[in-house]
């Protein structure tokens, strides 16, 4: 991945003149170019890794796999949040790790953790580096040095069990590679977050990830049958049976643990046969309440759609406008972007199953006031699904702040929460710098509720980092005030830590600290993430 942007630098595309003009017009602000500094001009301190710690790490993974060169350290200096990218674009890598360590297997991870605990070096587990909440920020805590523990060499399909419908995957596997390996056995994972191209199996487990097809395949945690975890005190092998009453499910301690208790090295997952058929369709609703009501009814069907997503009127309008502006030669007299709210639904499975679920869903959508639009809008959405982060890069380069935030709540609280978060963000950002666009969609539906995913676009202003932090604080406070979760699938990291005391309560925070103390008594694993400090 690029050191200052998302993904493959060869796929980066600047804003077209037409799109640049459209953005400037909508925001009421003059855009200004904010190019990144040259890599040679990035500010980075010398590595503070003590020689004895360096020697101990080299002894367990090999000298070639302890990287202290600036290029490796820069590319592990954080995740891919807008704040991360703004810092690096400006040349700030002051918090880069002191080394990047690349073990080859579970035993190598154990040995690295033991060496770091013995030498007082903090360890930040690093998969695809796609965190947008500060989850892989290389914080030192009370230690003098920190290393990024890169798991890319743990990239194997360890076992495929066709009879049981399970697979054992190493934690460093990127999703496209995992799916390619599973496809060789006629199966798929079915996990498709926007970070799909770069995120890893271990990262999904550590953050309780959720993908676009969660309505059909489930959240990633629902796919996990067993875990193998390396901790500073040894190995934990958890789960394996499809169900158990042998006390509390200790797997749950590590699903969402963000590397603060241990490092997930292998994940046994439930897999599904590759679908024989797929059908997508789009529907339009006059407003968000009508569309949300239809999604609630879909979520309670015996066989809901595999993919469900409903854009509010602003997101529907903006996405259509962007698609039109992105065309080299838009047809004369083209229809304006649609009014109302666009829903996309998709079905995977056998031909008979897809046909039956499609008919049931169509009846629900029509009864709720939906108008069918055919397959075209969904094809456009799927085609551009993984381009969103590249568009954010182009906006940042043009002096436009662009970032996302997400939450989840029950159906009865969904629309009040939607209004509150949007109002809080607009209140924090609107002003002399220009206007703000707040887009939102409903996805990841459950019988009890759903997720809200917001995209915020505003002029960067003189201090874009401060502007975004102000908006994030306002949004987080609104989310907490409405009793919603501070994060549905982005995880906690550093960004959501201020709201964790309210999320888990004082006793819950004490339990998390007790688990941390039991598994990582030296406190070297991913300091400053997930766990509220004592006294908060």
Question: What pLDDT was estimated at residue 317?
Answer: 92
- 129, 150, 171 - which closes a domain: 150
Asked if 265 and 292 sit in the same domain, the reply is no
Within 10 angstroms of residue 386's Cβ, the number of other Cβ atoms is 18
Query: Rounded to an integer, what distance in angstroms lies between the CA atom of residue 289 and that of residue 38?
Result: 48
Asked if 70 and 178 sit in the same domain, the reply is no
Q: Does 311 map to a domain?
A: yes
Query: Rounded to an integer, what distance in angstroms lies between the CA atom of residue 213 and that of residue 174?
Result: 18
Asked if 234 and 294 sit in the same domain, the reply is no
User: Do 268 and 239 touch, CB atoms closer than 8 A?
Assistant: yes
Q: Does 433 map to a domain?
A: no
Asked if 268 and 290 sit in the same domain, the reply is no
Question: What pLDDT was estimated at residue 326?
Answer: 52
Catalytic residue among 4, 390, 418, 453: 453
Asked if 224 and 268 sit in the same domain, the reply is yes
Asked if 89 and 164 sit in the same domain, the reply is no
Query: Rounded to an integer, what distance in angstroms lies between the CA atom of residue 365 and that of residue 115?
Result: 58
Q: Which residue has the tokens 């953050």?
A: 207
Asked if 218 and 285 sit in the same domain, the reply is no
Please give the DSSP secondary-structure letter assigned to residue 335: P
Q: Does 361 map to a domain?
A: yes
- Beta strand 157-161 with 187-188: parallel, antiparallel or unpaired? unpaired
Asked if 106 and 161 sit in the same domain, the reply is no
| Domain hosting residue 41, numbered range | 34-150
Q: Does 452 map to a domain?
A: no
CATH number of the domain bearing residue 225:
3.30.465.10
Asked if 205 and 298 sit in the same domain, the reply is no
CATH number of the domain bearing residue 314:
3.30.70.3450
Asked if 126 and 182 sit in the same domain, the reply is no
Side by side, the strands of the sheet bearing 400-410 are 371-374, 277-285, 341-349, 307-311, 437-443, 449-459, 400-410
Q: What is the pLDDT along the chain (536 residues), one digit of tens a residue?
A: 899 999 999 999 899 898 999 899 999 998 989 999 999 999 999 999 999 999 999 999 999 999 999 999 999 999 999 999 999 999 999 999 999 999 999 999 999 999 999 999 999 999 999 999 999 999 999 999 999 999 999 999 999 999 999 999 999 999 999 999 999 999 999 999 999 999 999 999 999 999 999 999 999 999 999 999 999 999 999 999 999 999 999 999 999 999 999 999 999 999 999 999 999 999 999 999 999 999 999 999 999 999 999 999 999 998 888 776 555 444 444 444 467 999 999 999 999 999 999 999 999 999 999 999 999 888 888 888 888 899 999 999 999 999 999 999 999 999 999 999 999 999 999 999 999 999 999 999 999 999 999 999 999 999 999 999 999 999 999 999 999 999 999 999 999 999 999 999 999 999 999 999 999 999 999 999 999 999 87
Question: What pLDDT was estimated at residue 292?
Answer: 98
- Tally of domains in the chain: 3
Sign of CA dihedral 350, 355, 359, 362: positive
- 370, 385, 400 - which closes a domain: 385
Computed over its alpha carbons, how large is the radius of gyration of the chain?
A: 23
Side by side, the strands of the sheet bearing 263-270 are 157-161, 166-170, 263-270, 224-231, 234-239
What φ, ψ does residue 448 adopt, rounded to 5°? -95, -20
273's tokens: 């046969």
Distances (CA, A) of 16 to 250, 337, 398: 51, 19, 11
3-state secondary structure of 517: helix
pTM: 0.95
Q: Which residues pair with 124 in a beta bridge?
A: 148
Catalytic annotation on 453?
Answer: yes
Q: Does 526 map to a domain?
A: no
Query: Rounded to an integer, what distance in angstroms lies between the CA atom of residue 391 and that of residue 389?
Result: 5
Asked if 191 and 223 sit in the same domain, the reply is yes
Residues 6+ apart with CB under 8 A from 8: 1, 2
Asked if 221 and 313 sit in the same domain, the reply is no
Distances (CA, A) of 161 to 170, 186, 415: 15, 12, 44
CATH number of the domain bearing residue 138:
3.30.43.10
Question: What pLDDT was estimated at residue 338?
Answer: 61
Q: Does 419 map to a domain?
A: no
Q: Does 294 map to a domain?
A: yes
What φ, ψ does residue 373 adopt, rounded to 5°? -120, 5
- 117, 135, 150 - which closes a domain: 150
Question: What pLDDT was estimated at residue 269?
Answer: 98
Residues 6+ apart with CB under 8 A from 511: none
Q: Does 519 map to a domain?
A: no
Query: Rounded to an integer, what distance in angstroms lies between the CA atom of residue 157 and that of residue 169?
Result: 5
């Amino acid at each position: 991945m690029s050191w200052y942007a998302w993904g493959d630098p060869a796929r980066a595309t600047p804003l077209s003149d037409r799109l640049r003009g459209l953005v400037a017009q909508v925001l009421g602000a003059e855009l200004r170019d904010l190019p990144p500094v040259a890599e040679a001009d990035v500010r980075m301190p010398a590595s503070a890794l003590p020689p004895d710690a360096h020697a101990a790490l080299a002894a367990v993974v090999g000298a070639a796999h302890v990287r202290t060169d600036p290029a490796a350290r820069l590319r592990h200096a954080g995740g891919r949040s807008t704040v991360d990218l703004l810092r690096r674009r400006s040349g700030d890598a002051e918090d880069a790790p002191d080394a990047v360590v690349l073990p080859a297997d579970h035993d190598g991870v154990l040995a690295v953790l033991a060496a770091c605990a013995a030498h007082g070096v903090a360890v930040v587990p690093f998969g695809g580096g796609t965190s947008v909440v500060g989850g892989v920020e290389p914080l030192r805590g009370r230690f003098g040095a920190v290393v990024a523990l890169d798991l890319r060499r743990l990239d194997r399909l360890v076992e495929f069990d066709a009879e049981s419908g399970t697979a054992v995957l190493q934690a460093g596997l990127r999703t496209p590679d995992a799916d390619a390996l599973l496809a060789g056995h006629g199966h798929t994972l079915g996990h498709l977050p926007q970070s799909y191209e770069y995120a890893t199996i271990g990262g999904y487990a550590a953050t309780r990830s959720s993908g676009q097809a969660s309505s059909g395949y489930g959240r990633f945690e629902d796919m996990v049958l067993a875990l193998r975890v390396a901790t500073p005190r040894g190995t934990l092998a958890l789960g394996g049976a499809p169900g158990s009453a042998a006390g509390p499910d200790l797997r749950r301690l590590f699903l969402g643990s963000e590397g603060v208790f241990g490092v997930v090295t292998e994940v046994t997952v439930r897999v599904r046969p590759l679908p024989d058929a797929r059908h997508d369709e789009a529907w339009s609703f006059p407003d968000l309440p009508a569309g949300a009501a239809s999604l609630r009814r879909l979520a309670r069907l015996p066989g809901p759609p595999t993919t469900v997503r409903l854009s509010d009127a602003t997101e529907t309008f903006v996405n259509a406008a962007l698609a039109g502006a992105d065309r080299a030669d838009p047809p004369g007299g083209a229809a304006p972007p649609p009014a109302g709210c666009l829903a996309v639904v998709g079905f995977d499975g056998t031909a008979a199953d897809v046909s039956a679920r499609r008919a049931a869903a169509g009846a629900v959508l029509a009864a709720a006031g939906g108008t069918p639009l055919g397959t075209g809008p969904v094809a456009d959405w799927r085609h551009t699904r993984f381009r969103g982060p590249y568009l954010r890069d182009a906006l940042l380069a043009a002096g436009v702040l662009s970032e996302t935030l997400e939450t989840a709540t029950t159906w009865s609280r969904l629309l009040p929460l939607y209004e509150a978060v949007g109002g809080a963000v607009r209140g924090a950002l609107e002003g002399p710098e220009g206007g703000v666009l707040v887009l939102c969609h409903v996805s990841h539906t459950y019988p009890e509720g759903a997720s809200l995913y917001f995209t915020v676009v505003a002029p960067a202003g003189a201090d874009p980092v401060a502007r975004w932090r102000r908006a994030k604080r306002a949004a987080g406070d609104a989310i907490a005030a409405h009793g919603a979760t501070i994060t549905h699938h982005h995880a906690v990291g550093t960004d959501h830590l201020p709201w964790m005391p309210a999320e888990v309560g004082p006793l819950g925070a004490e339990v998390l600290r007790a688990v941390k103390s039991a598994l990582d008594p030296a406190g070297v694993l991913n300091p400053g993430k997930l766990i509220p400090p004592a006294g908060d």
